[in-house]
């Protein structure tokens, strides 16, 4: 199991706690936040790789939170999660660059797989950026 | 060679792109492939969700809004992914798809989020001032009661109604949002959770504060009622829901009533009745019948309690046997609650519907403590607990028939006789005869084996329910498609969307392959055409022209016309019929499932003709496949990085590894690669075909044929046979483990094979393009025709335009495709010999026979009784 850092954002305490516990058990490092504002604090302070984000939350909703995450930390991958949001929030989320969209309730295995895919994408992108930077430095006359 | 390749490519792509290095090529391939793969996955998900939607819509079974919403969201997200990926894959072509998608998804959103208009009017109005037209404000039950109250000679207790406007004043948008949230997360299968969740919602309503102005008005109306009757009068609070306006829906007994309420108890009782809307039974029932909770608005009637001596229910017809000319009357002593909810022992009377309303049947259970069937004579009256006299029965019968006539439908009436013997009508509603029929006419389970001859063939999946009878007609080519007769059973090997036009003419559809999620399955359901897909062996076991009965629901095909099965197919009732959720889903499906883009070759096959999400998926899928297929054409690679294939190989072959196409044992820096170090599945299959028979070289040319080649070569110097050795030099394989693109120039013809073979059926494909070549146009056309003939035998779909051939197979298992790649490998090598002999019909036939024979042998299907005519080459296949 590859270890990476996940942030679970959901206002439903039951769901958030159970998910956090299960993902931790499977070897991920998991942070959690009960709302969008708190989530933004966490990603400012911590090196989060993937955010699992509930779309429908009181206060700052998932879509708004996603927008902030994209501008603050564009490399973080976001997987959206919903039980009962309006249908077009899904597309809205994809347009804002969410990695994918999951429907609640969700089993652990597919969730884990989706999070790993998201992390893989982030890793590849970082690698590419690194390579490009290296190339740039190498080609510069010293 | 280069000049020729670029010449050919210029004909396909007007602009020459810069050549890519090996790493860039690999990168481009990986990127393109990952887009393609994710598009296909999205396509599968979208089609699966569409199939789910149709299944629940057409199943006649119950479904709920949350499921509909989840499926539609899944469809939208996946179709969006397809559009996005296609735009990247096609370098921004089809940009207008985005706008079309946007428009459809907005329309869908509107349909899905549609809510009934909020009620407008007074919070409270008296029964006396209420009219039938107020039913949108006071609910069905109270509106009907108000109507009855105005009929002469019929008593209805005085009272008032807390309207839907009052309910909306009491429960705010925030309450509704919270209730919504709680309901949507409830798992309908988990009864414990349902009861718990409903109790929670009811507690939430209990805890909500009644607005002061509403409470004030409630108490004021109660005071008026006291003035009109007696101080401290007791009232009954009853539910009166609105929105339950479908004829086949009964919400009987689901809601809550509060009896004997005094002034102090009013507010509590009101909340209780409102909360009754969220009782577990009511929630479960609404879900089952297709009502969202926002479709139902709860109003509350507050009526003076009747001091009842005996109460009961009269049905103006017997629901158990609606055609019988009797009324059915139940009664019990007191206020009658036990009659309605079935908890008390009650007396039963069946009364003739004709004057003088004779009692035809009498069961006095109250007295005996159990069911007693007595004769039609009345027992001695002094022994009885309060029950009904024959005069009262007559009065009830007359009243019930009057109400039936007034409403134009058999009625279910609640009533009470007070101590003075005065009859009060508490409620009258349409009798649920249709619902009773529904219970009685359950369709026999399809698992019950029908009597008679067992099926000819059975299995596969039910792609569309139903039963039909007709003659089998097999369709495997455009020609047979044109000859398809009206009313036949369509038999297919593979259910391609191209066959969709036939569904208008067919009575049933049987396909050896495919699943319920395919395009053709969708269209079948849309047409209500019984369809079985994935029925292995169907092509072999069902004979053309034979009459069969297709029972798609049971996935079985029977010989001849089976009336027993065809009869059973009718009479299925739809439990969701007419419900708001069904209407909404029907409206939504119009934007989702119809498929208008069935023919990729039609001029309408473009974004602007996409009217539904299904159209968009079809378009994206088709175009993504072409974008992927043309990888070899679009990308120009640096040929110096190719490795030469070594080993016992005819001609010269070069290999470029795009991804994991080489075994780990292959040496990285080497200039050559051995065939044993190739692990590309499709390349190895092609190679088997190429190396199965040694190449014979060109045959003797007829004088006329030779002249023609000289003539062509003179016009096009690059075709000069003198440089033929140069022309036959380099043929390129671009490979990965599952992918292979082979560009071949053998002799004068140009061929390209591209294939992807994996475990995922939907990703698998082969395309074969063949064009050009020496010899005049006529002979080239004969040659491509011959190739097309051979390929058609091996399940390829063929497109022929002049001397250009496009042959394709999609979505078949890898081993099936591997065999077809062998065929292509074989043909690629051996067609070269055809050029010279194409003007001799006998030779053409001879070659066709030899090709077919050698291919059969290569594939291990040796035709019996073969005579070796000497044209057969030495086999070098292992």
Domains in chain A: how many in total? 1
Taken in order of first residue, the domains within chain B and their CATH numbers are: 20-59+72-112+594-629 (no CATH), 124-304 (3.30.1490.20), 308-437 (3.30.470.20), 457-572 (3.50.30.10), 639-858 (no CATH)
Q: B349-358, B435-444, B654-663: which has the highest mean pLDDT?
A: B349-358
Test A90 with B77 for CB contact under 8 angstroms.
yes
| Top-confidence residue, A108 or B294 | A108
The parent domain of residue A125 ranges over 5-139
Tell me whether residues B109 and A94 touch, CB distance under 8 A: no
pLDDT exceeds 70 at position B806: yes
- Specify the higher pLDDT residue, B371 or B852: B852
Residue B102 confidence (pLDDT) above 50: yes
Residue A31 in this model has a pLDDT that exceeds 80: yes
Q: Looking at per-residue confidence, does A39 or B285 come out higher?
A: A39
- Chain A contacts of B81, Cβ < 8 Å? 94
> Among B423-432, B609-618, B696-705, which is the least confidently predicted range?
B696-705
Query: Does residue B683 carry a pLDDT above 60?
Result: yes
Least Cα separation, residue B105 to chain A (angstroms): 7
Task: Work out the pLDDT band at B31, boundaries 50, 70, 90.
Answer: confident
What is the band of B90 on the pLDDT scale with cuts at 50, 70, 90? confident
Tell me: pLDDT of B629 over 70: no
pLDDT at residue B681 greater than cutoff 90: yes
Token pair of B661 as six digits: 């196409």
Rg for chain B, CA atoms, rounded: 39
Predicted pLDDT of residue B382: 47
Top pLDDT among B452 and B862 is at B452
Query: Measured between alpha carbons, how far is B532 from B458 in angstroms, rounded to an integer?
Result: 9
Answer whether residue B459 shows pLDDT above 80. yes
- Judged by DSSP in three states, B290 sits in coil
Count CB-CB contacts under 10 A for residue B405: 11
Percent of chain B residues past pLDDT 90, beyond the cut? 24
Max mean pLDDT among A108-122, B58-72, B438-452, B849-863 falls in A108-122
Residue with tokens 């009491």, as numbered in its chain: B170
ipTM computed for the complex: 0.76
Average pLDDT over residues B366-392: 57
**Cβ A88–B185 below 8 Å, yes or no?**
no
Greatest mean pLDDT range, B139-143, B381-385, B613-617: B613-617
Q: How buried is B762 (Cβ within 10 angstroms: 0-12 exposed, 13-18 middle, 19+ buried)? A: middle
Percent of chain B exceeding pLDDT 70 equals 74
The pLDDT of residue B342 is 45
CB contact under 8 A, A84 and B66: yes
Distance of alpha carbon A35 from alpha carbon B415, whole angstroms: 55
* Token output for B545: 């022209």
> Count of A–B CB contacts within 8 Å?
47
Q: Is pTM, for the whole model, over 0.95?
A: no
Sign of CA dihedral A11, A12, A17, A18: negative
Residue range B192-210: average pLDDT? 88
- B67 at interface of A, judged by CB pairs closer than 8 A: no
pLDDT digits (tens, 9 = 90+) for B553-578: 888 999 998 887 876 554 434 556 66
- pLDDT tens track for A81-116: 876 656 777 788 888 889 988 887 788 888 998 999
B449 pLDDT band (50/70/90 cuts)? low
Nearest residue, CB atoms, A88 vs list B109, B180, B185: B109
B112 in contact with A, Cβ within 8 Å: yes
Q: Report how far residue B270's alpha carbon sits from residue B780's, in angstroms, rounded to the nearest whole number.
A: 88
Q: Is the pLDDT of residue B583 over 90?
A: no
Rounded to a whole number of angstroms, the distance between the first and last alpha carbons of chain B is 32
Q: What is the mean pLDDT of chain B?
A: 78
Query: Which tokens hold the place of A63?
Result: 């879509």
Domain of A27, CATH number, reads 3.40.50.2300
pLDDT band per the 50, 70, 90 thresholds, residue B12: very low
pLDDT at position B724 over 50: no
On the 0-12 / 13-18 / 19+ scale of CB atoms within 10 A, B664 is exposed
Report CA dihedral (B340, B342, B343, B348) to the nearest 10 degrees.
Answer: 100
Please tell me the distance from the alpha carbon of residue B774 to that of residue B718, in angstroms, as a whole number.
10
Instruction: Say yes or no for a CB contact (<8 Å) between A103 and B74.
Output: yes
pLDDT computed for residue A77 by the predictor: 95
Q: Which residues of B768-798 are buried (b: 16+ CB within 10 A; e: fewer)?
A: bbbbbbbbbeebbbbbbbbbbebbeebbbbb
pLDDT of residue B725: 34
Nearest to B35 by CA among B864, B784, B627, B652: B627
Given CB atoms, is A91 within the 8 Å cutoff of chain B?
A: yes
Other Cβ atoms within 10 Å of B75 Cβ, number: 28
pLDDT attached to residue B286 = 78
Which pLDDT does position B311 carry in this prediction? 87
pLDDT in tens, B220-249: 999 999 999 999 999 999 988 877 654 445
| Residue B765: pLDDT band with limits 50, 70, 90 | confident
Structural tokens at position B499: 């066959």
Sign of CA dihedral B766, B771, B773, B779: positive
Greater model confidence, B291 or B276: B276
Q: How far apart are CA B67 and CA A84, in angstroms?
A: 10
Contact yes or no for B764/B757 (Cβ under 8 A): yes
Q: Which of A15, A21, A6 shows the shortest CA–CA distance to A34? A: A15
């Amino acid at each position: 199991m590859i270890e990476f850092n996940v942030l679970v954002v959901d206002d439903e305490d039951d769901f958030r706690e159970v998910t956090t516990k299960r993902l931790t058990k499977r070897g991920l490092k998991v942070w959690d936040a009960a709302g969008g504002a708190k989530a933004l604090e966490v990603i400012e302070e911590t090196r989060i790789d993937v955010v699992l984000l509930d779309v429908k939350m009181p206060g700052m909703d998932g879509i708004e939170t996603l927008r902030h995450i994209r501008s603050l930390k564009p490399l973080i991958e976001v997987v959206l999660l919903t039980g009962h949001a309006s249908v077009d929030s899904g597309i809205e989320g994809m347009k804002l660059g969410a990695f994918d969209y999951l429907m609640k309730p969700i089993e652990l295995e597919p969730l884990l797989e989706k999070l790993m895919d998201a992390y893989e994408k982030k890793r590849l992108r970082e690698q590419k950026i690194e390579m490009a930077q290296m190339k740039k430095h190498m080609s510069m006359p010293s | 060679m280069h000049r020729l390749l670029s010449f050919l490519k210029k004909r396909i792509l007007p602009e020459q792109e810069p050549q890519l290095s090996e790493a860039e090529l690999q990168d481009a391939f990986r990127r393109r492939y990952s887009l393609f793969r994710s598009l296909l996955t999205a396509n599968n998900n979208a089609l699966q969700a569409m199939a789910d939607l149709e299944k629940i819509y057409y199943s006649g079974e119950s479904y709920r809004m949350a499921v509909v919403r989840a499926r539609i969201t899944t469809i939208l997200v996946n179709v969006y992914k397809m559009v996005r990926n296609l735009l990247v894959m096609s370098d921004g072509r089809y940009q207008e798809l985005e706008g079309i998608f946007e428009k459809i998804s907005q329309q869908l959103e509107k349909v899905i989020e549609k809510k009934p208009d909020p009620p407008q009017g007074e919070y409270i109005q008296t029964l006396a001032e209420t009219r039938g037209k107020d039913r949108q404000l006071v609910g069905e039950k109270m509106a009907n009661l108000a109507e009855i109250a105005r009929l002469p000679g019929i008593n209805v207790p005085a009272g008032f109604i807390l309207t839907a406007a009052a309910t909306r004043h009491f429960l705010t948008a925030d309450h509704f949002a919270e209730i919504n949230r709680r309901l949507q997360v409830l798992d309908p299968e988990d009864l414990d959770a349902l009861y718990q969740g409903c109790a929670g919602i009811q507690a939430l309503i209990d805890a909500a504060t009644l607005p002061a102005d509403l409470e004030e008005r409630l108490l004021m109306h109660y005071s008026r009622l006291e003035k009109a009757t007696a101080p401290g009068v007791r009232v009954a609070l009853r539910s009166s829901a609105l929105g339950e306006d479908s004829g086949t829906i009964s919400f009987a007994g689901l809601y809550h009533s509060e009896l004997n309420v005094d002034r102090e108890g009013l507010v509590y009782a009101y909340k209780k009745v409102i909360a009754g809307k969220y009782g577990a039974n009511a929630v479960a029932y609404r879900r089952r019948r297709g009502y969202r909770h926002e479709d139902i608005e709860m109003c509350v009637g507050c009526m003076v309690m009747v001091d009842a001596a005996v109460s009961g229910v009269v049905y103006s017809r017997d629901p158990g046997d609606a055609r019988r000319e009797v009324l059915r009357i139940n009664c019990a002593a007191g206020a009658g609650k036990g009659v309605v909810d079935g908890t008390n022992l009650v007396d039963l009377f069946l009364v003739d519907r004709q004057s003088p309303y004779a009692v035809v049947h009498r069961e006095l259970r109250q007295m005996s403590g159990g069911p007693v069937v007595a004769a039609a004579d009345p027992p001695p009256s002094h022994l009885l607990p309060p029950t009904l006299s024959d005069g009262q029965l007559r009065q009830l019968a007359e009243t019930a028939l009057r109400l039936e006539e007034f409403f134009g439908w058999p009625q279910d009436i609640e009533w009470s006789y007070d101590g003075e013997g005065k009859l009060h009508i508490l409620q009258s509603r349409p009798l649920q005869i249709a619902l009773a029929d529904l219970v009685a006419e359950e369709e026999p389970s399809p698992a019950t084996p029908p009597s008679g001859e067992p099926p000819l063939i059975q299995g596969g999946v039910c792609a569309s329910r139903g039963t039909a009878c007709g003659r089998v007609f097999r369709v495997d080519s455009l020609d047979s498609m044109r000859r398809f007769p009206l009313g036949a059973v369509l038999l297919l090997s593979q259910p391609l969307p191209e066959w969709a036009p036939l569904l208008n003419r067919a009575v049933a559809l049987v396909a050896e392959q495919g699943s319920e999620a395919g395009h053709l399955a969708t269209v079948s359901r849309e047409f209500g055409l019984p369809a079985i897909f994935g029925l292995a062996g169907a092509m072999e076991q069902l004979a053309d022209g034979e009459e069969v009965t297709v029972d798609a629901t049971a996935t079985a095909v029977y010989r001849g016309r089976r009336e027993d099965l065809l009869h059973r197919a009718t009479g299925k009732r739809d439990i969701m019929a007419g419900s708001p959720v069904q209407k909404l889903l029907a409206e939504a499906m119009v934007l989702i499932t119809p498929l208008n883009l069935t023919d990729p070759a039609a001029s309408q096959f473009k974004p602007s003709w996409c009217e539904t999400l299904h159209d968009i998926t079809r378009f994206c899928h088709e175009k993504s496949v072409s974008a992927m297929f043309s990888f070899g054409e679009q990308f120009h690679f640096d040929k110096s990085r190719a490795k030469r294939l070594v080993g016992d190989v005819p001609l010269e072959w070069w290999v470029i590894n795009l991804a994991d196409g080489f075994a780990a044992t292959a040496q990285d820096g080497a200039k050559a690669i051995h065939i044993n170090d190739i692990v590309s599945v499709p390349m190895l299959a092609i190679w088997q075909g190429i190396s199965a028979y040694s190449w014979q070289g060109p045959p003797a040319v007829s004088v006329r044929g030779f002249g023609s080649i000289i003539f062509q070569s003179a016009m096009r110097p690059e075709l000069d046979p003198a440089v033929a050795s140069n022309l036959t030099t380099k043929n390129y394989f671009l490979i990965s483990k599952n992918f292979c693109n082979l560009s071949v120039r053998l002799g004068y013809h140009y061929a390209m094979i591209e294939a992807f073979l994996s475990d995922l059926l939907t990703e698998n494909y082969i395309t074969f393009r063949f064009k050009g070549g020496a010899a005049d146009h006529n002979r080239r056309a004969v040659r491509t025709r011959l190739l097309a003939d051979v390929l058609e035998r091996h399940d390829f779909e063929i497109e022929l335009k002049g001397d250009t051939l496009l042959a394709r197979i999609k979505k078949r298992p890898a081993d099936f495709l591997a065999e077809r790649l062998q065929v292509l490998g074989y043909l690629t090598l051996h067609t070269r010999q055809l050029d010279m002999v194409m003007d001799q019909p006998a030779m053409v036939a001879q070659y066709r026979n030899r090709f077919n024979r050698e291919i059969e042998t290569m594939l291990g299907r040796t035709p019996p009784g073969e005579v070796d005519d000497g044209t057969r080459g030495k086999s070098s296949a292992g």
